[in-house]
Amino acid sequence: MSGNEVAIIGGGVIGGGWAARFALMGWEVRIFDPDPDAARKIDAVMQGAARALPMLYEARMPERGAIRFCDSIAEAVAGARYIQESVPERLDLKKNVYQQVMAHSSPDAVLASSTSGFTPSQLQEGLALPAQLLVAHPFNPVYLLPLAELVPSTKTAPEAVEVAKEILTEIGMFPLHVRAEIDAHIADRFLEAVWREALWLVKDGVATTEEIDDAIRYGFGLRWAQMGLFETYRVAGGEAGMRHFMAQFGPALKWPWTRLMNVPDFTDELVDLISDQSDTQSGALSIRELERLRDDNLVAILRALKGQDAAAGALIAAHDARLRAPLEETVPLVTVRRIVPSDWVDVNGHMNEGRYGQVFSDASEELMAHVGADKAYIAAGHSYFTAETNIKYLAETLIAEEIFVETRVMLGEGKKLRLWHEMKRSADGALLASCDQFLLHVSLETRRSCPPLTPVAAAVERLAQAHRQS
């Protein structure tokens, strides 16, 4: 065993999302779900995840871990380091699962529940090994959204919390340590409040389901995606900050703006009203189509945040850096391996020509780092500048395709560097584009060309010689 085995108990939407994220991050996944249709459902989730998650990264993803369906909980949990329970929100069902898990798993394994509402103390009551158990509550789609609310109780072993943090961080998630037990944890309490108010707005005829969604997605939802609640309001206070905001808007808390303490009855009429409006709003698209639209939008938003090294994007950037491996000394060098993300595609459905330049620029950046002309070298006042490129577009490159770039050093003499890049499709090796790139070494102090420092010059000349001889 590799030591990276995870057991997923319950293969619904959340369990399938967990399975997909773990597998795509290189873990061996074993699933138990008595639903005879579980394999088909999880395969559909996996296809969406395999298409979307790699788009967030410039680094090559880990080798995908195998997913195996097991006939029993005992088979699924044997030898697993981490066990994620995602069965329906029934306390009796969950406790029955835990008893079976604890009877057949290692006492050192972490047992985490995806529950959105129960506290760990409620889940631990009557269990033989309560120290194993904590809550790791994710958000759908688990394979894209990084937050997991990590909630221990006083009975949870501190080591289990630390191991869970380490594992969740390893697969690119953000474990938010919730320090006090409370029903529905943190995030779902906000969602519940918004949901209750939305029900009243629909019931009272103030707004339709689509109008409410528009208010969120075109307004504060975009702010919350990057700044959260309190930071958003701090900015709203202007130069005077949060204190001014509180002084200005605090009295509004006494105004009858919401009906959060008065929940409408879930009558058949209200259910029909909301269901009909939702069908009108979104019924033209299948669930798979809506999921793909959601995933593409999330990828674009998260990649935008990544480019600014902000919020969830900073988390992805840091994880991307950890996934990067040094270049192997092959001839030619493979400088890029990646998936074409949704925000690189133009109206024709293929990769925008400007992105080819980015791919080849990324390839040269990787080569620069390989020869020592890295960030530290640039910070010390030296770099290579591109003087000329000639890109040839040879075939369409489509969204979610895996591509790689082979780079040859054609000239490496003094301050001159010439690179030949070929971008190819991973599936069949087809040549998609080529780039002839000429660079000059410069001093960042004078902004004029100059010879590179000796170690970099030697590394470039060594590569040029190796590539000429191949």
Closest to 16 in 3D by CA, of 61, 64, 69: 69
Note the pLDDT tens digit of each residue in 44-83.
Answer: 999 999 999 999 999 999 999 999 999 999 999 999 999 9
Residue 205 pairs in a beta bridge with none
DSSP state of 252: G
pLDDT at 461: 97
How far apart are the C-alpha atoms of 370 and 456, rounded to whole Å? 9
Tally the C-alpha atoms within 13 A of residue 4's C-alpha that lie toward its C-beta: 19
How far apart are the C-alpha atoms of 212 and 198, rounded to whole Å? 7
pLDDT at 261: 76
Name the pLDDT band for 467 (thresholds 50, 70, 90). Answer: very high
More confident of the two residues 247 and 363 = 363
Mean pLDDT of 397-414: 96
Mean pLDDT of 395-423: 97
Yes or no: say if 277 and 206 are a contact pair by the CB < 8 Å rule: no
pLDDT at 1: 39
Give the predicted TM-score (pTM) of the model.
0.90
pLDDT at 2: 53
Q: Please count the other Cβ atoms lying within 10 Å of the Cβ belonging to residue 274.
A: 17
Mean pLDDT of 114-135: 96
In this structure, which amino acid lies at residue 106? S
Note the pLDDT tens digit of each residue in 333-345.
Answer: 999 999 999 999 9
Name the pLDDT band for 243 (thresholds 50, 70, 90). Answer: confident
Note the pLDDT tens digit of each residue in 359-389.
Answer: 999 999 999 999 999 999 999 999 999 999 9
Mean pLDDT of 393-404: 96
How far apart are the C-alpha atoms of 32 and 57, rounded to whole Å? 30
Mean pLDDT of 453-458: 98
Element (H, E) at 456: helix 454-469
Note the pLDDT tens digit of each residue in 262-293.
Answer: 878 889 999 899 899 999 999 999 989 999 99
How far apart are the C-alpha atoms of 395 and 402, rounded to whole Å? 14
